[in-house]
Amino acid sequence: MPIPFALTTNALLEIDHIFVCVKTAVSPSILADLGLNCAAQPIHRFNQGTVSNSIFFENMYLEMIWVEDAQASEIYAMQSGIDFLARSQQSQASPFGIALRQKLDQVARPFDLLPAENTVDRSQTFINFAAENLSAQTEPLCFVIPDSVSLLSLLDRTSLLHQRLISHPAGMQRLTAAKITLQRTGQLSDSLAMLRRDGIIEVEQDTLPHLELIFDDHKQSQHLDLRWLGIPVVLNY
């Protein structure tokens, strides 16, 4: 398969993590058999009705989310506009979300986010969504997270646990390119179009949505297809 182009160095934002909604729980032991380390314990978000586990790399992480309480998830969808249940059912809704952080040397806001800046409670945990993208179920969610909860802020490279989490037997280390496939035609929201224009992620159309992540400029010429696990992700490394 064609390899995505390299991530640009000129964008104001960069990928912090990508989530993928899946139908069922992901077994850490199966991932370990494939050479991937993940957190020993999943994270329960009871207000969302979801559980998640993550695979961490040096500069991003992949979060797998599944619904354990459909009723709580439906209530959360009505309150927030984020429907994890629909996004996990292989419907027309995209199963992905792209969390972005500002590059360390950047302070400019690259696109207009809602709520407007003058209405925002400047909380350190506020997450910015663009309204047009939030309502476009066929697109991956695109949102900006504060520095205080970004991977670069939370990762402690002196921690043996953190070192183990980002040291995979398969050998991949740093994300160097990414491509996401949509099941839709027509004009992209301004947010997703900006990410494509700035080279943060490549966007294509196909019959089934999936994500390709390339690590370390594909120097090992290897790939790991997770789609047989119900995870629509391919890792090239």
Closest listed residue to residue 189, CA positions, set 108, 109, 131: 131
Domain spans of the chain, in order of start: 13-170
In terms of phi and psi (left: phi > 0; alpha: psi -120 to 50; beta: otherwise), the region of 13 is beta
Segment 150-183, tens digit of pLDDT: 999 999 989 999 999 999 999 999 999 999 999 8
Buried b (16+ CB within 10 A) or exposed e, 53-64: bbbbbbbbbbbb
Locate tokens 């991956």: which residue?
140
Q: Decide the pairing of beta strands 223-225 and 233-236.
A: antiparallel
In terms of phi and psi (left: phi > 0; alpha: psi -120 to 50; beta: otherwise), the region of 51 is beta
Segment 1-32, tens digit of pLDDT: 444 444 445 678 999 999 999 999 989 999 99
CATH topology of domain 13-170: 2,3-Dihydroxybiphenyl 1,2-Dioxygenase; domain 1 (3.10.180)
Residue type present at position 156: D
Say yes or no to pLDDT of 149 above 80: yes
**pLDDT category of residue 145 using cuts at 50, 70 and 90:** very high
The share of the chain scoring above pLDDT 70, in percent, equals 84
